[in-house]
């Protein structure tokens, strides 16, 4: 009898706790909603976002990603930085201040940089088909003979212009197949200087290339990585110029000594002064 009484009391206490403590918390969590802006339709990369692309919906507050942009004014007029889909919450990483399509990148070439495509040998080597225009990547090079793998300093930070399928379809023009799949890219086109282009052409011929994603996000932050790569080449050039200048100075010094020695041999001077003077006693 005592056990039944104790059990009964415990059940009553639990019922009170659930009624006055747990239930309000559950109700609050389920009823706490917020109006948010989401994408209302699928969108290719590089499309300018207009009001008709967005929808306002009410969702549970705890289901909204922390980095979601909720103010439509911060979204309208921006471009999709990658392919987007209906129902997507929009984050800064998914938005761009420029179209960033392959055509835009090609049109912006001014001679200071070039575009070059290299082969993606395997599904994994191309980041499993997940590369996006504007990504900053490192190129991992594997020697086919020795198996040695490195990331050359010259190829540490590079910008992806686009990826292209074997049928010639660029990343920003790829459409979903009827079964929901997508055609996998077979090449990646990179923005680089001529030194990098030469290296990539060589490695594409006699080595295996694997793409490693370094950064995907705002163009401003991507530029910081690309600036570091440009600074590397600037430092290399300054070092080469300094060594060339030093070699030239040493060469001139050696030429001077030979010239003075010839003067003595030819009778144009009787001695060689250590104080840099060539004299004649007569």
Per-residue pLDDT of the chain in tens (282 residues, 90 and over written 9): 556 666 666 666 666 656 666 555 655 555 588 888 889 888 877 788 998 999 888 888 888 888 888 888 888 888 887 778 888 888 887 887 777 788 888 888 989 999 999 999 999 999 999 998 899 999 999 999 999 999 999 999 999 999 999 999 888 787 778 887 888 999 999 999 999 999 999 999 999 999 999 999 888 899 999 999 999 999 999 998 888 877 776 666 666 666 766 766 676 665 545 455 444 554
Judge if 86 and 145 occupy the same domain: no
DSSP 18: I
Provide the CATH number for the domain around residue 87: 3.90.1210.10
Judge if 107 and 202 occupy the same domain: yes
Reported residue count of the chain is 282
Judge if 148 and 178 occupy the same domain: yes
Q: Which of 164, 184, 217 is the last residue of a domain?
A: 217
Judge if 149 and 209 occupy the same domain: yes
Write the CB contacts of 226 (distance below 8 Å, at least 6 apart in sequence).
Answer: 136, 157, 158, 159
CA torsion, ordered 214, 216, 217, 221, to nearest 10 deg: 30
Q: Which of 191, 217, 243 is the last residue of a domain?
A: 217
Judge if 91 and 172 occupy the same domain: no
Residue 236 lies in a domain: no
Residue 246 lies in a domain: no
Whether the pTM exceeds 0.85: the reply is no
Q: What is the CB neighbour count within 10 angstroms for residue 167?
A: 8
- Total number of domains in the chain: 2
Residue 9 lies in a domain: no
Residue 127 lies in a domain: yes
Residue 230 lies in a domain: no
Judge if 79 and 117 occupy the same domain: no
For position 25, what pLDDT does the model report? 60
Domain residue limits at 180? 102-217
Judge if 177 and 188 occupy the same domain: yes
């Amino acid at each position: 009898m005592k056990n039944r009484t104790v059990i009964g009391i415990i059940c009553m206490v639990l019922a009170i706790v659930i009624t006055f403590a747990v239930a309000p918390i559950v109700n609050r969590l389920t009823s706490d909603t917020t109006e948010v802006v989401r994408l209302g339709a699928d969108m290719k990369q590089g499309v300018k976002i207009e009001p008709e692309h967005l929808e306002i919906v009410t969702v549970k507050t705890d289901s909204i990603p922390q980095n979601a942009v909720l103010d439509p004014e911060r979204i309208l007029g921006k471009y999709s930085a990658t392919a987007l889909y209906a129902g997507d919450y929009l984050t800064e990483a998914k938005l761009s201040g420029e179209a960033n399509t392959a055509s835009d990148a090609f049109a912006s070439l001014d001679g200071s940089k070039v575009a070059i495509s290299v082969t993606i040998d395997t599904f994994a080597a191309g980041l499993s088909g997940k590369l996006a225009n504007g990504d900053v990547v490192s190129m991992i090079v594997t020697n086919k003979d020795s198996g040695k793998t490195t990331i050359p300093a010259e190829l540490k930070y590079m910008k992806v212009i686009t990826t292209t399928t074997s049928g010639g379809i660029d990343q920003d023009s790829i459409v979903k197949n009827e079964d929901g799949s997508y055609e996998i890219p077979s090449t990646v086109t990179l923005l680089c200087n001529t030194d990098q282009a030469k290296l990539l052409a060589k490695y594409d011929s006699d080595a295996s290339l694997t793409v490693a994603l370094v950064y995907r996000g705002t163009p401003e932050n991507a530029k910081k990585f690309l600036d570091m790569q440009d600074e590397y080449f600037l430092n290399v050039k300054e070092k080469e110029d300094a060594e060339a200048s030093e070699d030239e100075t040493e060469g001139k010094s050696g030429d001077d000594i030979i010239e003075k020695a010839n003067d003595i041999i030819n009778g144009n001077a009787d001695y060689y002064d250590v104080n840099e003077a060539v004299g004649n006693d007569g």
